[in-house]
Structure 1
Amino acid sequence: MSIYVGNLSYAVTQDGLSEAFAEYGTVKRVQLPTDRETGQMRGFGFVEMGTEAEENAAIEALDGAEWMGRDLKVNKARPREERGASGKWSNQGGSSRRY
């Protein structure tokens, strides 16, 4: 399981985020997704800690905390949802145009 970290500054680095979470235990991995087209960070990331107890301690301490001028949103990451033909760009189920 991993931790979702939202509302991150675009200036954040993997090392910086790792240091912030290391205060609460062993950081196994940090991911900072970037936009495919621009390469710019997307404003959120994922942190994987050594144990569930460490994850819980980090979530409790950092959710709502100010870091790099932003109020962090920190919680357990949810599994990624499958994107299929029924998504927002699908033509199934009628048109989304308004006349």
Structure 2
Amino acid sequence: MSKTLYVGNLPWATSSEELTEYFAEFGNVIGSRIITDRETGRSRGFGFVEVADEDAERLAEELNGKDFNGRSLTVNEARPRQTV
């Protein structure tokens, strides 16, 4: 099983690959994605990292507030999308 972590306050130039590599230093990463604006294609400054179930809580605690390319990350377990 896996869990998805929300990662906020990312530098605009961050790629999914960079995010995966960074989180892989701390635990088992399955994949990541950066959320982009539909019209401009520019990063919206946040993304999601899918990690092994057993690593999720520890990664969120360890990496929340940690410096990543000059920005202090916000990391917590992602909540399901709200439907309208």
Q: How does 1:1-99 map to 2 (within 5 A)?
A: 1-51=3-53, 53-83=54-84
TM-score normalised by L of structure 2? 0.91
Q: Report how far residue 24 of structure 1 moved.
A: 2.1
> Which residues of structure 2 form unaligned runs of 5+?
none
In structure 2, C-alpha distance between the alignment counterparts of 1:57 and 1:19, rounded to whole Å: 17
Q: Report how far residue 40 of structure 1 moved.
A: 0.2
Q: Report how far residue 43 of structure 1 moved.
A: 0.3
Larger radius of gyration: 1
Higher relative contact order (CA 8 A, sep 6+): 2
Calculate percent identity across the aligned residue pairs.
Answer: 46
TM-score normalised by L of structure 1? 0.78
Q: Report how far residue 31 of structure 1 moved.
A: 1.1
Identify the structure with the greater strand proportion.
Answer: 2
- Return structure 1 stretches of 4+ with deviation > 4 angstroms: none
